[in-house]
Amino acid sequence: MKKVLISTLMLTLAIPFVTNAQNIEAGVRLLNQFQQKQEVPNKEFRSEEGRENKIQERKSNIGERRTKLQEEVKVRVENLLENVYTKLSEVIIKLNGIADKLDEKIINLNNKGVDTGDAEALLDEVRTKIDTASSTLEASKTTLSGALDTEVSKEDVRSVVDKVKESIKSAREALVEVIKSLKDISETTTQ
């Protein structure tokens, strides 16, 4: 009854604004669409069963979205860890390259008859530290890849990455010592 009153009221209000047959048809179509929109929710929620179905549907949607978000987070973390691993690997490769250049410099100085025993010992220490950093990085990669399957805290991941950074830092510091030693040797030979 109410719907009939509402629809007739809307039709009577719409008639003065409608001037030709096309607009009347458009008005009737709009009115029918409005009534259909009003009827659909009422049918679903008239019964307890309809309400329960709607609640269950929303709960399942939430569960699906949650699992989808968890998968997205896992992919993001994998990408982040892979980027960190790649950057640390590049640093180790650069350290190896610098160590190779220093090794060539030491060989050249040895060929000239200069005593480079201290620099050679320091360079051996650098190689050991670079190897330690490399092995720490590989071990951390396996640890971090396992972290995605199990629940590991951020602090644990950070501590593993910090260990790798510290080993790289110590290798870098040792390289600086080799460079200083070579500078001292070069200065004494040129004087």
In tens, the pLDDT along 118-172 reads: 888 989 999 999 999 999 888 888 777 766 666 667 777 788 888 888 999 999 9
Q: Does 59 or 94 have the greater pLDDT score?
A: 94
Domain assignment of residue 31, given as a range: 2-46
Nearest CA to 119 out of 108, 140, 103 is that of 103
| Averaged confidence pLDDT in the chain | 78
Q: 36 and 79 share a domain?
A: no
The mean pLDDT of 45-66, rounded to a whole number, is 78
Q: 173 and 117 share a domain?
A: yes
**Which range has the worst mean pLDDT, 50-59, 103-112, 140-149?**
140-149
User: Do 129 and 171 contact (CB within 8 A), yes or no?
Assistant: yes
Global pTM value: 0.62
Q: 100 and 139 share a domain?
A: yes
CA distance 122 to 125: 5
**Which range has the worst mean pLDDT, 5-19, 65-79, 142-156?**
5-19
Task: List the CATH number of the domain containing 173.
Answer: 1.20.1270
| Within a domain: 59 | no
| Within a domain: 141 | yes
Q: 90 and 181 share a domain?
A: yes
Q: Give the model confidence (pLDDT) of 15-47 as tens digits.
A: 555 455 556 666 667 667 766 665 545 455 556
Q: Answer yes or no: is pLDDT of 89 > 80.
A: yes
pLDDT value, residue 18: 47
Nearest CA to 96 out of 118, 123, 136 is that of 123
Q: Does 75 or 35 have the greater pLDDT score?
A: 75
Q: 78 and 140 share a domain?
A: yes
Q: Does 7 or 102 have the greater pLDDT score?
A: 102
CA distance 49 to 161: 54
Q: 104 and 144 share a domain?
A: yes
